[in-house]
């Protein structure tokens, strides 16, 4: 089938952000913030009275706070999303900074509420939250009290909040700008970093090696600057953790995720104990590719005899069919994303790399950002991000306080949607070589999400610890710690090349959301367990799954898991998810044998 250039690149798939601001553009952003300021004026007069509020008074306050969050959220979403598709535009950068500064100034004026709420007794809190009218914010209000040991005085909280605009937030923005304009020289052609990284999936080793060398060369010019940004943010976090009395660098992320330090450590240790899975696969892959040992740039190589391209129209058809096979209700939501201007898909100069779903606010709709390159992996990425989108869309009824889940549950719907889509692709593939290629891609997705993200957590642990113990880290020290964490996962199955030692320097999660990456492993293993429930129960499982997604973050993670029959408190839970990955490895090994290539 002939694919047009427009279809191959998804060139005409762009989002429309104007509905966030009623079509008023930048003026609409300022109008929303003006309206938010009026709401803050009304809320601020209740300073010092939170302890005196009855249930009706608290309901009124929380509805006004929700309206405030909606207006700030719309303004921030517009500015942030506009910036993400062109990080080189000074006007977009200036707008995003203005919104952040104004939003921070407004937020500092209502810090009193959480501080006064924290001072209430548990008995009084229980009395208030028993009122059904507070259902829309009950879990949020309870969760806010988990931070009581880490709250400072109001003047201190205001100071930290206001300084964050020119502190961590500013450094994070600088990192985004620095990485989004990295260019690579590939055979004399000037290409974006994202395009070079996509070539690591090529079946031609010379292409992969050239792409890896181009990535390393492209990362080199700004390496020391990015290392300085990272050093600064590591020190900034150490200061925050000390001031807020957190026991370790990961404690604040665990608190936000409603996960205990012990449970996260159990996850990490369980995954590390199964590093034999990626090592076993990569040794088999070397045999499939006809080489003695993989180099780091070989890990994502396709084992297919040829490269398949998927135009945007075919990709969307596959994904709709997959979601429809599971739930027509979810498929209808997917169609809305695809039929309306809710997605920005093509690669562009200075566009942020990767892919994400932006929830925006419950009164609006989510958006998806992709960098589509017409590879099979992009089809699964589309299915993945649409899973996030469906989750966000179904949870809108929970309102601004409960739409989102902790990061540890945020990947459930995305991984589930990707897995269903993979199943449909596999069912439609009969050729042994093509089936092996699909199984390999799926297994490598599991390895990247569970094992590589855990290895990156170990890298983060090492750099946060080293920065606190040793002071500012050199580029070489970062490289040593990166190589050590990767070697622990890969063993002798993959050679870590000298150039790869700098590849930590373009990963945004280390910068913007320190500690985030373990949530990928958590979410992946959870989603696999949920998918296993679906395989066991069939159609009877679907209503409970939709109920869990629609609940958003209105319940603690353990209660959300119980809706679909998953016990997150079980210490052996991680082993169950890892066993599923091990089963997939065995299937891939059998498929490799069936091709006669090993």
**Number of domain units in the chain:** 1
Residue 563: inside a domain, yes or no?
Answer: no
Residue 307 confidence (pLDDT): 66
State the Cα–Cα distance between residues 420 and 314, nearest whole angstrom: 17
Residue 532 confidence (pLDDT): 87
Residue 597 confidence (pLDDT): 86
* Phi, psi at 504, each rounded to 5°: -65, -20
**Mean pLDDT within 235-241:** 97
CA-to-CA dists, residue 586 to 28, 284, 590, angstroms: 55, 11, 6
State the Cα–Cα distance between residues 563 and 548, nearest whole angstrom: 6
Q: Crossing angle of helices 412-427/376-394, nearest 10°? A: 140
Please tell me which of 253-267, 275-289, 522-536 the model is most confident about, judged by mean pLDDT: 275-289
The two tokens of residue 120 are 């209430």
With the C-alpha atoms ordered 460, 462, 468, 470, is the resulting torsion angle positive or negative? negative
The two tokens of residue 369 are 């950002």
Summarised one tens digit per residue, pLDDT across range 432-485 is 888 898 899 889 989 999 999 999 999 999 999 999 999 999 999 999 999 999
pLDDT above 90 for 214:
yes
State the Cα–Cα distance between residues 582 and 270, nearest whole angstrom: 13
Residue 96: inside a domain, yes or no?
Answer: yes
Of 335, 318, 331, 332, nearest to 423 by C-alpha is: 318
**Mean pLDDT within 501-505:** 98
pLDDT above 90 for 394:
yes
Q: Crossing angle of helices 453-470/518-537, nearest 10°? A: 160
Coil, strand or helix at 22: coil
Residue 30: inside a domain, yes or no?
Answer: yes
Residue 573 confidence (pLDDT): 83
Q: What angle do CA 365, 366, 367 make, to 5 degrees?
A: 125
Summarised one tens digit per residue, pLDDT across range 320-353 is 999 999 999 999 999 999 999 999 999 998 999 8
State the Cα–Cα distance between residues 184 and 189, nearest whole angstrom: 8
**Mean pLDDT within 195-212:** 93
Of 183, 168, 190, 189, nearest to 220 by C-alpha is: 183
Residue 63: inside a domain, yes or no?
Answer: yes
Coil, strand or helix at 294: strand
Domain range enclosing 47: 18-166
Q: In this predicted model, which residue has the larger pLDDT, 125 or 533?
A: 125
Q: What percent of the chain has pLDDT over 70?
A: 99
The two tokens of residue 473 are 């880290």
CA dihedral 419, 422, 428, 430 (to 10 degrees): -110
Residue 231: inside a domain, yes or no?
Answer: no
Rounded to the nearest integer, the mean pLDDT of the chain is: 94
Residue 125: inside a domain, yes or no?
Answer: yes
State the Cα–Cα distance between residues 392 and 93, nearest whole angstrom: 26
Q: What angle do CA 226, 385, 350 make, to 5 degrees?
A: 35
The two tokens of residue 238 are 């150490």
Helix (H) or strand (E) run with residue 346 in it: strand 343-346
pLDDT above 70 for 114:
yes
**Mean pLDDT within 388-395:** 98
**Mean pLDDT within 68-97:** 96
**Mean pLDDT within 211-222:** 97
pLDDT above 90 for 118:
yes
CATH value at residue 98:
1.20.140.70
**Mean pLDDT within 524-540:** 90
pLDDT above 80 for 7:
yes
Whether residue 348 contacts residue 333, with contact meaning beta carbons closer than 8 Å, is answered with no
Residue indicated by tokens 């100069």:
349
CA-to-CA dists, residue 441 to 138, 147, 444, 592, angstroms: 42, 41, 5, 13
Distinct helix (H) and strand (E) counts, the chain? 28, 7
**Mean pLDDT within 89-109:** 95
- Structure pTM? 0.84
Residue 306 confidence (pLDDT): 64
pLDDT above 90 for 411:
no
Q: What percent of the chain has pLDDT over 90?
A: 82
C-alpha 55, offset from chain centre: 36
C-alpha 494, offset from chain centre: 27
Q: How confident is the model at residue 376 (pLDDT cuts 50, 70, 90)?
A: confident
Residue 437 confidence (pLDDT): 87
Residue 122: inside a domain, yes or no?
Answer: yes
pLDDT above 80 for 1:
no
Of 216, 168, 234, 193, nearest to 474 by C-alpha is: 234
Residue 446 confidence (pLDDT): 92
92: Cβ contacts below 8 Å, ≥ 6 apart:
79, 82, 83, 86
Residue 107: inside a domain, yes or no?
Answer: yes
Residue 40 confidence (pLDDT): 98
State the Cα–Cα distance between residues 138 and 144, nearest whole angstrom: 10
* Phi, psi at 548, each rounded to 5°: -65, -45
* Phi, psi at 302, each rounded to 5°: -70, 140
Coil, strand or helix at 311: coil
**Mean pLDDT within 17-30:** 97
pLDDT above 90 for 303:
no
């Amino acid at each position: 089938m002939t694919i047009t250039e427009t279809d191959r690149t998804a060139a005409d798939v762009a989002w429309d952000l104007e509905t966030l601001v009623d079509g008023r553009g930048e003026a609409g952003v300022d109008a929303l913030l003006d309206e938010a300021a009026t709401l803050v004026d009304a809320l601020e007069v209740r300073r010092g009275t939170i302890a005196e509020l009855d249930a009706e008074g608290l309901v009124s306050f929380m509805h006004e706070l929700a309206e405030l969050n909606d207006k700030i959220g719309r303004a921030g979403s517009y500015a942030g999303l506009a910036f993400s598709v062109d990080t080189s535009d000074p006007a977009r950068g200036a707008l995003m900074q203005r919104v952040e500064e104004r939003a921070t100034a407004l937020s500092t004026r209502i810090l009193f509420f959480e501080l006064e709420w924290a001072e209430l007794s548990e008995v009084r809190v229980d009395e208030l939250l028993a009122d059904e009218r507070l259902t829309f914010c009950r879990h949020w209000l309870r969760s806010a009290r988990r931070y009581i040991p880490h709250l400072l005085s109001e003047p201190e909280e205001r100071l930290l909040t206001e300084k964050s605009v020119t502190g961590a937030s500013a450094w994070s923005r600088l990192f985004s700008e620095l990485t989004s304009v990295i260019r690579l020289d590939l055979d004399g052609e000037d290409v974006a970093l994202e395009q070079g990284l996509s070539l690591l999936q090529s079946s031609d080793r010379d292409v992969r090696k050239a792409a890896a060398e181009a990535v390393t060369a492209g990362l080199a010019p700004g390496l020391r600057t990015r290392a300085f940004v990272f050093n600064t943010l590591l020190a900034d976090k150490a200061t925050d953790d000390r001031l807020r009395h957190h026991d370790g660098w990961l404690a604040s992320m665990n608190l936000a995720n409603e996960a205990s330090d012990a449970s996260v450590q159990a996850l990490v240790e369980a995954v590390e104990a199964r590093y034999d899975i990626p090592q076993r696969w990569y040794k088999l892959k070397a045999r499939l590719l006809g080489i003695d040992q993989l180099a780091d740039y070989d890990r994502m190589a396709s084992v297919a005899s040829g490269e398949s391209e998927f135009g945007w129209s075919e990709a969307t058809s596959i994904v709709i069919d997959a979601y429809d096979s599971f739930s027509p209700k979810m498929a209808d939501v997917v169609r809305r994303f695809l039929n309306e201007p809710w997605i920005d898909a093509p690669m562009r100069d200075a566009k942020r790399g990767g892919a994400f779903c932006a929830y925006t606010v419950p009164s609006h709709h989510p958006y998806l950002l992709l960098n589509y390159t017409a590879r099979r992996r992009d089809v699964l990425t589309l299915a993945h991000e649409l899973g996030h989108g469906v989750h966000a869309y179904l949870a809108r009824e929970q309102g601004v306080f409960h739409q989102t889940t902790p990061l540890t549950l945020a990947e459930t719907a995305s991984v589930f949607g990707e897995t269903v889509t993979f199943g449909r692709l596999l069912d439609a593939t009969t050729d042994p070589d093509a089936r092996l290629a699909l199984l390999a891609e799926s297994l490598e997705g599991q390895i990247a999400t569970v094992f590589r993200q855990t290895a990156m957590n170990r890298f983060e642990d090492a750099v946060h610890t080293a920065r606190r113990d040793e002071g500012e880290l050199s580029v070489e020290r970062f490289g040593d710690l990166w190589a050590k964490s990767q070697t622990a996962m890969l063993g002798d199955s993959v050679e870590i090349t000298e150039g790869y030692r700098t590849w930590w320097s373009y990963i945004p999660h280390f910068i913007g959301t320190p500690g985030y990456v373990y949530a990928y492993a958590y979410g992946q293993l959870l989603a696999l367990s949920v998918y296993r429930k679906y395989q066991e129960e069939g159609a009877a499982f679907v209503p409970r799954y939709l109920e869990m997604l629609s609940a958003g973050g209105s319940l603690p993670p353990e209660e959300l898991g119980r809706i679909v029959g998953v016990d997150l408190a079980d210490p052996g839970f991680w082993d169950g998810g890892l066993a599923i990955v091990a089963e997939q490895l065995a299937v891939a090994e059998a498929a490799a044998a069936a091709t006669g290539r090993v």
